[in-house]
Chain A
Amino acid sequence: MNAHSAMVSATALRFERVTKWYGSIVALLDVSFEVGCEVVGLVGKNGVGKSTLMKLAAGLLQPSQGTVHVGPHPAGTAAARADLGFCPDVERLYEQLSGVAFVAWMLRYHGFSRRDARARAAATLEQLGLGEHMNRSIREYSKGMRQRVRLAQALAHEPRFVLLDEPMTGLDPVARAELSQTIRSLPAQGVGVLVSSHVLHELEAVVDRVVLVHQGRLLAQGRVGELRAQLPSQPHRLRIVGPRLRELAAVLVAWPQVAQVRVHDDSLEVSVVGESGFYEALTRLGAAWDGGVHEVVPLDDDLASLFGYLVG
């Protein structure tokens, strides 16, 4: 480990060779990755260990083997918990309390005086768009409002790392967009984020990198584009829109990189294996084609496709 990576590690949320058993069931096996000052998406099917990873970082669970560090502190210690905010996938809240009372109560345990805790809780809820409802009882809140309260208790003490377990659940499209914006803004404030979600296209818009977990193992990690490029045997699919589609299909199918061409009413779906020279040739063809090529859209360069290719 060189000096730079050692410095990054000391300020990162770090999972090192983590294994977790529940009785005789292996929930996680030898998982290692880091989260720096960035947004990292945790992707995997239900029950593959995403929540377990977050709970290990939060100190709610202890690893059977391996270590988890929150910056320089071992996970679960008071210092680690002070540096961490966690928005768990828990439906229930303290229903009888108001949003501001709940967040202020949590802040009290971080050492804020009653007055400061109340003021900070109010400011955080205001920031998350719950300002005018913060004094109402939580039991009267909609799903979206409850999710904002959960988020507020995770952010109000200004942690260095935030863990968000399925934060989009139950939110309407507007609230999702707002939450995405909030998450996206956190690294600029020096906060590292680990977020899991089933809504892969929305997750993709928010994250810098993804960590793919399958059956308790870390399957892949990196930027979506980089990971997609590491699957050369998996054809890239493109949608091409232009005039005289049948003639265009006849030209393309003769190219060595093209594995398959499907002709639809308004477009072609082209499968490309080994991209070497393909896009340059396509650009030249588009320029020379009578009427031009109107649109070339990759169909499987997204997180959902990547996830599908990797886990089947």
Chain B
Amino acid sequence: MNAPRPLGFVATVVESARQTALRLRHHRIWTLVVIGAAALYGIAWLVGYQVGQRTEDDGVIAYCNLAWWLQATVVTPWLTLYLGVQALHGGLEDRTFQYLFLRPVSRTALLLGNWLAVSLVGASVGALGAVILFAGMADNRELWPDGADWRYAGAFAGACAIAATAYAAAAMAFSAWFRRPLVWAAFFVVGLQQVVANLPISAGLRSATITDPLRRFVLDAIEPTQRLARNLWPAEATFDPEQVGAPLLDLTWFVLVALAIASWVYARTEYDARARD
């Protein structure tokens, strides 16, 4: 036997991430990204044009509403959840996981590699989308009397990138645990997060979601007017910067707990036996 020592933990994470990213590339993601980018630009331009024609709102209000309600709460979450479920649960469904589980490497490292790749792809696409939306909105020059302020694009690009890492971790947990992870993802995004968003600001459960700390992160970054704050956080009548708290810490905890659950389940579950139970 002249086989070398099996790959170490970090090297396995990197190799798993590389292979996951390669496989995601094969899902024609770049074709979809180009089509999606054109669509986002078109939507942003059209919305900006309509806002300019029909309201007194400026480009900041128009962009922040669009970027939050479309890019940060719909496109980035669903794209990342879909890619995450494809990456991990796809292999469990078609049983190709057997080829991986036979190797002398840690299943946790394999899972973290999947998460890393999905996070990077989701973050890149999410951030790019936020910037493209801004570009589309900025082309309506009458909305920006003092010139387009690209700081807002940066704030939402950062928010989407952070959201992608958290949604990727949620996708790993749902994929490792459940047989129908996208159904549970829908329950989490549409059900739990919406319900929790209406709880009082003091409710600790809000930190167990992605939307709530992400919203606080955005509000902290864009320093909104009261009106814009109400648009982005309808459950709160008046926005107080003291309410921001530590959104990045909350999201970090969310990611750590989701990944801990995911790797615990992934490392211990007999996926072959599950089909027969």
Across the interface, do B270 and A60 meet the contact criterion of CB distance under 8 Å?
Answer: yes
Inter-chain contact total with CB atoms closer than 8 Å: 93
Instruction: Give Cα distance in the complex from A84 to B7, angstroms.
Output: 16
Question: Which residues of B (74-112) have their CB < 8 Å from a CB of A?
Answer: 94-96, 98-106
Instruction: Give Cα distance in the complex from A27 to B277, angstroms.
Output: 11
A81-B98 in contact given A23-B277, A109-B6, A109-B12 (Cβ < 8 Å): no
Which of B3, B23, B101, B103 is the one whose CB lies under 8 Å from A96?
B23
Q: Can you list 8 A-B pairs, Cβ within 8 angstroms, ordered by A?
A: A58-B102, A60-B102, A78-B105, A90-B95, A90-B96, A109-B105, A110-B6, A158-B2
Any chain B CB within 8 A of the CB of A299?
A: no
Q: Which residue in chain A gives the minimum CB-CB distance to B98?
A: A88
Question: Which residues of A (45-100) have their CB < 8 Å from a CB of B?
Answer: 55, 58-62, 78-79, 81-86, 88, 90, 92-94, 96-97
Q: Which residue in chain B gives the minimum CB-CB distance to A82?
A: B104
Where the two chains meet, the residues of A that have a C-beta atom closer than 8 Å to any C-beta of B are: 22-23, 25, 27, 55, 58-62, 78-79, 81-86, 88, 90, 92-94, 96-97, 105-106, 108-112, 153, 157-158, 160
Across the interface, do A22 and B273 meet the contact criterion of CB distance under 8 Å?
Answer: yes
Across the interface, do B4 and A110 meet the contact criterion of CB distance under 8 Å?
Answer: yes
**Centre residue among A27, A81, A84, A153 by max chain B CB count within 10 A:** A81
Which of A27, A78, A90 is the one whose CB lies under 8 Å from B98?
A90
Any chain A CB within 8 A of the CB of B250?
A: no
Instruction: Give Cα distance in the complex from A170 to B74, angstroms.
Output: 45
Any chain A CB within 8 A of the CB of B34?
A: no
A111-B7 in contact given A96-B26, A158-B2 (Cβ < 8 Å): yes
Q: Which residue in chain A gives the minimum CB-CB distance to B4?
A: A111
Which chain A residues lie closer than 8 Å to B149 at the CB level?
none
Minimum C-beta distance from A37 to chain B (A): 13
Which chain A residues lie closer than 8 Å to B104 at the CB level?
78-79, 81-82, 109-110
Q: What 10 A-B pairs come out closest when comparing CB atoms?
A: A109-B103, A96-B26, A111-B4, A78-B104, A82-B104, A92-B94, A81-B104, A22-B276, A90-B95, A109-B105
Q: Which residue in chain A gives the minimum CB-CB distance to B15?
A: A108
Any chain A CB within 8 A of the CB of B35?
A: no
Instruction: Give Cα distance in the complex from A62 to B267, angstroms.
Output: 12
Across the interface, do B3 and A61 meet the contact criterion of CB distance under 8 Å?
Answer: no
Across the interface, do A157 and B3 meet the contact criterion of CB distance under 8 Å?
Answer: yes
Q: Which residue in chain B gives the minimum CB-CB distance to A25?
A: B276
Which chain A residues lie closer than 8 Å to B103 at the CB level?
81, 106, 109-110
Chain A interface, DSSP helix/strand/loop, else mixed? loop
Instruction: Give Cα distance in the complex from A124 to B22, angstroms.
Output: 23
Across the interface, do B270 and A109 meet the contact criterion of CB distance under 8 Å?
Answer: no
Any chain A CB within 8 A of the CB of B272?
A: yes
Instruction: Give Cα distance in the complex from A83 to B7, angstroms.
Output: 15
Across the interface, do A94 and B277 meet the contact criterion of CB distance under 8 Å?
Answer: no
Across the interface, do B1 and A160 meet the contact criterion of CB distance under 8 Å?
Answer: yes
Which chain A residues lie closer than 8 Å to B225 at the CB level?
none
Across the interface, do B273 and A109 meet the contact criterion of CB distance under 8 Å?
Answer: no
Across the interface, do B101 and A105 meet the contact criterion of CB distance under 8 Å?
Answer: no
Q: Which residue in chain A gives the minimum CB-CB distance to B96?
A: A92
Instruction: Give Cα distance in the complex from A111 to B11, angstroms.
Output: 9
A59-B276 in contact given A94-B96, A158-B3 (Cβ < 8 Å): no
Across the interface, do A86 and B102 meet the contact criterion of CB distance under 8 Å?
Answer: yes
**Centre residue among A60, A62, A158 by max chain B CB count within 10 A:** A60
Instruction: Give Cα distance in the complex from A58 to B95, angstroms.
Output: 14
Any chain A CB within 8 A of the CB of B151?
A: no
Which chain B residues lie closer than 8 Å to A59 at the CB level?
101-102
Minimum C-beta distance from B23 to chain A (A): 6
Which chain B residues lie closer than 8 Å to A25 at the CB level?
276
Minimum C-beta distance from B273 to chain A (A): 6
**Centre residue among B7, B15, B94, B104 by max chain A CB count within 10 A:** B104
Q: Which residue in chain B gives the minimum CB-CB distance to A154?
A: B102
Which chain B residues lie closer than 8 Å to A105 at the CB level?
15, 19
Known A90-B95, A109-B7; further 20 A-B contacts with Cβ < 8 A: A22-B277, A23-B277, A58-B102, A59-B102, A60-B102, A60-B270, A82-B3, A82-B6, A83-B1, A90-B94, A90-B96, A93-B96, A94-B99, A96-B26, A97-B23, A105-B15, A111-B4, A111-B5, A111-B7, A153-B99
Which chain B residues lie closer than 8 Å to A111 at the CB level?
3-7
Which chain A residues lie closer than 8 Å to B12 at the CB level?
109
Question: Which residues of B (1-35) have their CB < 8 Å from a CB of A?
Answer: 1-7, 12, 15, 19, 22-23, 26
**Centre residue among A23, A25, A109 by max chain B CB count within 10 A:** A109
Minimum C-beta distance from A89 to chain B (A): 9
Instruction: Give Cα distance in the complex from A109 to B104, angstroms.
Output: 7
Q: Which residue in chain A gives the minimum CB-CB distance to B93?
A: A92
Q: Which residue in chain A gives the minimum CB-CB distance to B277?
A: A23
Which chain A residues lie closer than 8 Å to B271 at the CB level?
60
Across the interface, do A60 and B101 meet the contact criterion of CB distance under 8 Å?
Answer: yes
A61-B272 in contact given A86-B102, A90-B95, A110-B6 (Cβ < 8 Å): yes
Minimum C-beta distance from B100 to chain A (A): 8
Which of B4, B22, B23, B99 is the one whose CB lies under 8 Å from A112?
B4
